[in-house]
Amino acid sequence: MKIDGSAAIVTGASSGIGDATARLLASRGARVVLAARRAARIEALAAELPGAIAVPTDVTDKDQLAHLVERCLEAHGRVDILVNNAGQGLHVPLLDLRPDDLRAVLELNVIAPLTAMQLVLPSMRAQGGGAIVNVSSATSLRLFPGLSGYAATKAALNLLSQIGRMELASAGVAVSVVYPSVTATEFHQSLRAGQFAGGARRFPADPPELVATTIAFAIETGEAHLMVEDPPRGGPAPRPRSGQRRPVGGGACPPDAGRPRVGGWRGRANGAAGSGGGAVILVTAAAGRTGRSLIPALVRRGHAVRALDVDPGVDRLRDLGAAETIAGDMLDPGDVDRAVDGVEAVVHIGPPMHPREAEMGHAVVTAARRAGVSHLVQFSVTHPQLEPLLNHQSKLAVERMVLLSRMPFTILQPMHYMQNIDVRRVVERGALTQPFALDTPLQHVDVEDVTEVAALVVTDPQHHYATYELCGSDYLNARQLAAVIQSVSGRPVAPEQVPVAHAFSVGAPSGAADAPPSEEDDWRRDAMVRLFDHYGRHGITGNPNVLGWLLGRPPTTFQEYVRRSLG
Ligand SMILES: NC(=O)c1ccc[n+]([C@@H]2O[C@H](COP(=O)([O-])OP(=O)(O)OC[C@H]3O[C@@H](n4cnc5c(N)ncnc54)[C@H](OP(=O)(O)O)[C@@H]3O)[C@@H](O)[C@H]2O)c1
């Protein structure tokens, strides 16, 4: 929708994002109709903006909303744009969430935008089109303790918008959702109940003008979803570099995108061309198990690796072939900007079982996009939609950010690594221990297979916009795994179920038992308990086909892994 010459209603225009949006739309030639309860503020703003009118409105009152739309029609004869921005936060834990507060915020954040949409639609239909932008929140894409009430209202707004978008497409009306993150406005001082929840965040709050730019971009393009930062500061979405494809039809895979062939192990041969060497690749959380396996795989393909890890000993990764190392924190924007600067591609590995993994993912995706990185490979997990598992929940949140980033991406979803079983140790102790039922089968994958795939896809545009489940073919319970280790090693190995608490004491630093657990420890313990509970009751399954197609050979079996470990 063209902004110049349009008639645009902006709710919540008396401060923050609404004020900035009204100014921006007016500066681009829109005749804005300003709505909010504080009449003096919107009247003062209307006096500054050419062609603007102020209509004092409580958007939770249907009659006042109807009057607002009538005033726009009287003044301009049409309504081209509706920005449903008025909203309020409700930041209290579930136990303290008062139904009256939730009802009030639902009225404002959900019912009012719905009513406003219903009121403008007859005119938009008659005109042959229009643009509706609903201002949601990034909190509706992640799970933040303490924000259930507020996030639930915004999640409801998301679905109203998405389904409304489908229903209204034929009338030429584009419904978009914009998801701001923490923004520097009065919002945090005018919550319905509770307190500002972004205190732990190290990133500066976004200026409301940045959200306004995103809202204007949504109006112009009609895109369905826009995270703020999208488009990046400084202008519209980056153009694809040569050889890259952009998503079409709301991010769907382009029709000509290369895909692995189906049927047998006939994909890319090991080491085949197609992942041209010579690029500088950033690997995050590089000192972990995945990173340490990935660095040599990238170097073998001729890439220069820049390794980022919070571990001050990250320099040791040079022994594995890393060309550059950065000791830095993914929660520190300066470190992340430094790490992405000048790289061709980013392989983002979240730190395993970290309560702030989603925040780190957001930081890396945002920085990579701003830096114009050509390709982002995200290490996720098989079945991230198993949201009761906290680590899956974090990975799913990052997947959503990657999908909304409008950067070329490849999402890798590896299964539980075989390397979680230390075969030498099992043989030494004569026991394979695990903190859940011995009869539940689990699928595994060899980390070396997974990182071989990551090195293969990272510079190959054929893998843009793909999500690959990476899973080995064995589906074995602990008794069967122990039998494999016993037969390969020739030493007795008994399976043994240990109490869940045992899993936490093993490997804990000495003296740690006396120290009070940190919040991070508590989160991790909760995440592990849920994981073991899920594994014990359901196991975890996956399919090896995609991994085989990508490798051009069958995935490594558990028996081969045991042989390699003991060899
Ligand atoms: N700031 C953030 O960090 C953030 C993050 C994510 C999403 N958001 C969303 O962004 C939108 C704008 O928030 P903001 O940050 O700009 O906050 P803000 O500065 O507090 O602005 C809120 C606006 O909503 C208006 N409003 C509240 N109740 C109203 C009612 N009953 N009728 C009419 N207008 C009403 C307020 O005007 P009056 O009081 O004059 O009526 C004000 O103009 C909200 O939907 C919010 O949920 C904000």
Q: How far apart are CA 361 and CA 342, in angstroms?
A: 19
Pocket-testing residue among 34, 69, 88, 181, ligand 1, by greatest number of atoms within 8 A of Cβ: 88
Domain count, the chain: 2
Do 286 and 426 lie in one domain? The reply is: yes
| Burial class for 265, CB neighbours closer than 10 Å (0-12, 13-18, 19+) | middle
Q: Is 371 in the pocket of ligand 1 (CB under 6 A)?
A: no
Say whether 5 sits in a helix, a strand or coil. Answer: coil
- Angle at which helix 333-340 crosses helix 357-370, to 10 degrees, equals 50
In a domain, 507, yes or no: no
Q: How far apart are CA 163 and CA 58, in angstroms?
A: 26
Q: Which residues of the chain have pLDDT under 70?
A: 197-203, 229-278, 503-517
Ligand 1 atom nearest residue 37's Cα? 41
Do 52 and 150 lie in one domain? The reply is: yes
Q: What is the pLDDT of residues 366-401, one digit of tens each?
A: 999 989 999 999 999 999 999 889 999 899 989 998
Look at residue 525 in the predicted model and tell me its pLDDT.
85
Q: What is the pLDDT of residues 242-291, one digit of tens each?
A: 333 222 223 322 222 232 222 222 223 223 333 345 689 999 999 999 99
Do 154 and 294 lie in one domain? The reply is: no
Are 389 and 531 contacting, i.e. CB atoms less than 8 angstroms apart?
Answer: yes
Last residue of a domain, one of 207, 227, 247: 227
Q: Is 182 in the pocket of ligand 1 (CB under 6 A)?
A: yes
Ligand 1 atom nearest residue 190's Cα? 20
In a domain, 528, yes or no: no
Residue 349 neighbours by CB distance under 10 Å = 26
As given in the structure block, the two tokens for residue 3 are: 């902004």
Do 218 and 318 lie in one domain? The reply is: no
In a domain, 353, yes or no: yes
Look at residue 504 in the predicted model and tell me its pLDDT.
66
Q: How far apart are CA 392 and CA 5, in angstroms?
A: 47
Q: Is 185 in the pocket of ligand 1 (CB under 6 A)?
A: yes
Q: Is 448 in the pocket of ligand 1 (CB under 6 A)?
A: no
Residue 116 neighbours by CB distance under 10 Å = 27
Q: Tell me the Cα Rg of the chain.
A: 26
Query: Which residues partner with 36 through β-bridges?
Result: 56
Last residue of a domain, one of 209, 227, 245: 227
In a domain, 249, yes or no: no
Look at residue 405 in the predicted model and tell me its pLDDT.
85
Do 12 and 107 lie in one domain? The reply is: yes
In a domain, 191, yes or no: yes
CATH number at residue 15: 3.40.50.720
Look at residue 469 in the predicted model and tell me its pLDDT.
98
Amino acid identity of 389?
Answer: L
Do 105 and 21 lie in one domain? The reply is: yes
Are 7 and 81 contacting, i.e. CB atoms less than 8 angstroms apart?
Answer: yes
Q: Is 36 in the pocket of ligand 1 (CB under 6 A)?
A: yes
Domain range for 464 is: 280-476+543-566
Last residue of a domain, one of 190, 211, 227: 227
In a domain, 414, yes or no: yes
Q: Is 243 left (phi over 0), alpha (psi -120 to 50) or beta?
A: left
In a domain, 26, yes or no: yes
CA of 83 to the centre of ligand 1 (A): 12
Do 297 and 172 lie in one domain? The reply is: no
Do 219 and 287 lie in one domain? The reply is: no
Do 95 and 175 lie in one domain? The reply is: yes
Look at residue 199 in the predicted model and tell me its pLDDT.
53
As given in the structure block, the two tokens for residue 250 are: 């709301």
In a domain, 240, yes or no: no
Q: Is 14 in the pocket of ligand 1 (CB under 6 A)?
A: yes
Do 319 and 215 lie in one domain? The reply is: no
Q: How far apart are CA 486 and CA 560, in angstroms?
A: 13
CA of 103 to the centre of ligand 1 (A): 17
Q: How far apart are CA 212 and CA 111, in angstroms?
A: 23
Q: Is 328 in the pocket of ligand 1 (CB under 6 A)?
A: no
Do 305 and 194 lie in one domain? The reply is: no
Pocket-testing residue among 41, 187, 228, ligand 1, by greatest number of atoms within 8 A of Cβ: 187
Q: How far apart are CA 210 and CA 205, in angstroms?
A: 10
CA of 135 to the centre of ligand 1 (A): 9
Pocket-testing residue among 9, 11, 15, ligand 1, by greatest number of atoms within 8 A of Cβ: 15
pTM of the model: 0.62
Look at residue 223 in the predicted model and tell me its pLDDT.
86
Do 336 and 443 lie in one domain? The reply is: yes
Q: Is 137 in the pocket of ligand 1 (CB under 6 A)?
A: yes
Q: Is 465 a catalytic residue?
A: no
Ligand 1 atom nearest residue 84's Cα? 45
